[in-house]
Structure 1
Amino acid sequence: MHHAPTPRRRKRRAGALAAGVAALALVATACGGGGSSKNSGSPAGAEAAATAAAKPGGSLEIIAVTDMAKIDPFGAISNYYVDSSRLNAIYDSLFYSEPKTGKAIPQTGESLTADPTGTVWTLKIKPNIKFTDGTPYDAAAVKWTWDEHKNPERRSLVAGAAAPIASTEVVDPLTLKVTLKAPNANFDRVVASSLAFIPSPTALQKDPQGFAAHPVGAGPFTISEWVRDSHMTLAKNPTYWQGPSKPLLDKVTFRVLSDSEQALNGIAAGRGDLKVTVSSTDAAKAKDRGLGITQVPVIVGEAIVFNASRPPFDDPRARKAVALALDPNDINKIAFTNQGVPGTSIFPSDSPLVAPGTPGMPAANRAEAQRLLDELAAEGKPLSFTYLLPQNNQAGKTGEYILTQLNTLKNISVKTETQAIVTYTNTVRVQRNFQAAMHNWTVSDVEPTVYSYLYSSSPSNFLSYKNPQADAALDQGRKTSDPAQRQAAYTELAKQLAQDVPLWPYQEGRITAYFGKNTAGLLLSNDGVLIMDRLGRRG
């Protein structure tokens, strides 16, 4: 697997956190390139609960910000913290991203190795694994799943991760030969991030419509009850491949609670055990309440994304005008109460994936923003658009600031629209029926998610961003596992993004799990996935 050099600290941008919360808002390093998981100063008793050995038996309640539209690996967001832990509970993972190094760690997979060119990979699967319908979890099942991700009719949300696969061949029941369209020295990261969840092909083909509500996997849990928009209760899988000692829990419940204050108060009072969040304010409040927190830094964080396929943001001047009119430091102060880390790039401020001093997005300059708006208006294109927001408290605060700041300028008119998270995801990622939207990217590495979101011909490029130089940089980073060569490629990518502004990052990302005193065995992968077979109650 791949390792990166120790990160070189870059100068902190102006407007970083106040000293009182500096211990919480740790400088992030891009996972998968030498980043590390952070346990940031939570009380010793609660923090020890996460790393202490968990006892067998009992149950835990995990708070989820939204329900899932589907729980199949095609219609769910398999590389996003909101859906990924439930997927991992049902399907288990071929590989997952190890939180300290970002490398791909085997789970149901035995190994994933490349030939010298990085074009042909060999996947080995552990023996004697079965889906809960009794059918074999084997190379044929993986082949079928990955082929379906590529099938346009399936409309998989991670189609971009599978698109570079040219062909797959079942060598024997536990061996799959994977030939890529072009070399990718980091294909193991692609699998760990986006292609790790394998459903039963037999069950899915037998009942295509019903499978999304009644999935069949080989994971540590099975669904015993699912009340939409309320809770999903999972029971221990009695035929789990790791034997009767796993998973540790007899039952786990994912309870839907969109209000972040209610979730925090509930866990602090013992009415719930654990929540995974991308909110920096939630993390600070949890620490103040004496709860344990563990964090992993991620790429991108929170951003405005623009749809370059339709007016007004098919014109790069419109995108630049919005970016120049806003200040990440003001957003951090007003919307995040100075508890986050202002960002100007998709890469954290001391990421080893880009060279020190690499410029981020243009700094706030409202005079230049007004000049661009006036120029567009003179051409008969005054800027008017709807800013789409997911339904949660933090998004509302951020959206209100952005709306106010933009509407104080001339020749611009902005309104906001809020949608429930499931609807919002479908609107932005599937239908692509938006002009500009708030989006929170929480990914461990450029491979594969950033690549598939930004590459011109990728089926997952919902921004419709097209830049040959950015494509070349993404391709170059994909071809190598050498840290210096990856850094050179992604430094060029950062420069192209700063020039084109297909998105405007304003808050560095980190995923936080906060938890009460009963939680133990907590491992949070770099993609925000809870590793469900070892999660349990404190002994």
Structure 2
Amino acid sequence: MAGGHGRILTLSDLRSLDPGTIGNAYASTGVVGNALYGTLMTNDDAGEIHYQMAESFATTDNGKAFTLKLRPGIVFSDGTPLDAEAVKFNWDRIKEPATSSPHRSEATMISSSAVVDDVTLTVTMVTQVPKYAQSVVTSSLNWIASPAALRKGVAAFDANPIGAGPFTLKSWIRQGSMELVKNPRYWDSPKPYLDTLTFQTALDTNQRYNTLQTGGADLAIESNPVNFDKAEKAGLPNTVMELSGGLFLAMNTRRAPFDDVRARQAVAAALDLDALNLAAYNGTGTPVDTLFSKASPFHSDTPLRKADNATAQRLFDELAADGKPVSFTFTTAPTSESKTTAENIQAQLGAFNNVKVQVKTVEVAEIVSLRATHDFDATTSSAFFQDPEPRLWTTFSGASPANLTGIADKDLDDALLAGRTAATQQERSEAYDTVQLRLTELSPAVFFTRAEPGAIAGKNVNGLAQYGLGSLLPEEIWIQK
């Protein structure tokens, strides 16, 4: 079972190996973060926390403060200790705007932290967050790199990233391939089972599947339901997480035309999600009708939106009569499904009067930068989750740095905060009912398909395991010889 070389196709390129800048999800190459840095914790399909490099992460006051306990004796790949000081250093720098972390929102929930001893860190929260372990699991807070290596600067760190993960970097050709080798100091021996890994980006949906099927790769990180459908029919091993929320059209409420709620409501009413599913996913996707999936304890049958062409046209006409005809640019990533989604939305809206849509394709890194620049009219984003905390707060709270749409509404913010801090399931359910209602009324986003984070492998590949937001664990993979 042990040994061998694994070739993994990913969905995006990395701009840096600094763990603070890597998104911890399937699409943002979380598998690379897991490979180089390991994990403090993971969770299962039910959202239950499982401890890895951490032994515990406990609160005795319903989330006002937490105590993190590390496994003793864990070392980085250079032999230096991964201790509480290292965790504090990594978590503090994710809070710094200069780090440009996509997970700054999660990190800034911590007010302060203090090292108690080598394996113990206490953290005090800004407001109580009983489910804060979920924030760690779904963000780069889960990855700890050597402070000494990080202090040397980005270029030096990218050339020699020091973590405590199952693999270490051998070589990295940007926009090309990344070669990793087994870390002999990894804490969880005999893992990893593979000796070496190669990562290569494959943006095109068909290319990913064809490369896998013809033996050009052993495993592909996947999100397209068309490919999962093919894999099922071909009998290929695959795994998909069932999550709430999904992918959405994000409309920038900071500037025209979407600073006017009528423009957002018009677009929301105009779109036919079944037609979009057919165009983008050959009808194999799952259109979003409710915020929470039926498997969620927060599920409500109340629909998020209602398609209504007459209402959409009335609003478009009303705006034009006010001298504010709806015209916007849809900024999209270069992946085939992203472009198809944007072009279908453009075509659907083209059937209405007084609305004009242009599509602009940019690199994935530029899409990521929109979180900081806010220089867009509309783009595709996502909020998918097992537990709604922290994803809904970071996506839609007016106080969140990661609020791409810029929506700021007191009732929505109050409900999001109540969902975060409530002590009982009933109180949380009531809060998230209000969240769904406000999202429908304000229409900052149109959720169009459930996310399907997963992976497809060759028939001799085993050990497909994910956590969080579809973050694949490379130490579990083994290849039948």
Q: Deviations over 1:231-272 (max 9, x none)?
A: 1111001121224x2211100111122222122112112221
* Superposition pairs of residues 31-430 of structure 1, within 5 angstroms: 55-98=1-44, 100-194=45-139, 195-243=141-189, 245-354=190-299, 356-361=300-305, 363-426=306-369, 428-430=370-372
Aligned-pair CA distance for 1:520: 1.2
The answer as to whether partners of 1:297 and 1:526 remain within 8 angstroms in 2 is: no
Aligned-pair CA distance for 1:357: 2.0
Task: Tell me the matched-pair count.
Answer: 480
Aligned-pair CA distance for 1:479: 1.6
The answer as to whether partners of 2:24 and 2:469 remain within 8 angstroms in 1 is: no
Amino acid of the structure 2 residue aligned with 1:454: F
Amino acid of the structure 2 residue aligned with 1:251: T
Equivalent-residue separation in structure 2 for 1:440 and 1:282 (angstroms)? 20
The answer as to whether partners of 1:63 and 1:275 remain within 8 angstroms in 2 is: yes
Give 5+ residue unaligned stretches, structure 2.
Answer: none
SS of residue paired to 2:19: coil
SS of residue paired to 1:447: coil
Give 5+ residue unaligned stretches, structure 1.
Answer: 1-54
Aligned-pair CA distance for 1:349: 4.4
Aligned-pair CA distance for 1:420: 2.0
Instruction: Tell me the residue number matched to 1:466.
Output: 408
Identity %: 35
SS of residue paired to 2:21: coil
Instruction: Tell me the residue number matched to 2:431.
Output: 489
Aligned-pair CA distance for 1:294: 1.5
TM-score when normalising by structure 2: 0.96
Equivalent-residue separation in structure 1 for 2:440 and 2:383 (angstroms)? 17
Aligned-pair CA distance for 1:399: 1.7
Equivalent-residue separation in structure 2 for 1:392 and 1:117 (angstroms)? 42
The answer as to whether partners of 1:163 and 1:458 remain within 8 angstroms in 2 is: no
The answer as to whether partners of 2:237 and 2:461 remain within 8 angstroms in 1 is: no
Equivalent-residue separation in structure 1 for 2:59 and 2:185 (angstroms)? 32
Q: Deviations over 1:40-86 (max 9, x none)?
A: xxxxxxxxxxxxxxx11101111112211112122221245431110
Equivalent-residue separation in structure 1 for 2:427 and 2:144 (angstroms)? 33
Aligned-pair CA distance for 1:183: 0.9
Structure-2 change in CA distance of 1:269 and 1:481 (3 Å): farther
Aligned-pair CA distance for 1:209: 3.5
Amino acid of the structure 2 residue aligned with 1:508: R
Equivalent-residue separation in structure 2 for 1:380 and 1:223 (angstroms)? 57
Amino acid of the structure 2 residue aligned with 1:260: T
Q: Deviations over 1:286-317 (max 9, x none)?
A: 22233122211123222101111111111111
Equivalent-residue separation in structure 2 for 1:333 and 1:462 (angstroms)? 27
Aligned-pair CA distance for 1:339: 0.7
The answer as to whether partners of 2:40 and 2:54 remain within 8 angstroms in 1 is: yes
The answer as to whether partners of 2:26 and 2:453 remain within 8 angstroms in 1 is: no
The answer as to whether partners of 2:415 and 2:431 remain within 8 angstroms in 1 is: yes
Which deviates the most, 332-341 or 219-228?
332-341
SS of residue paired to 1:182: coil
Instruction: Tell me the residue number matched to 1:42.
Output: none
SS of residue paired to 1:211: helix
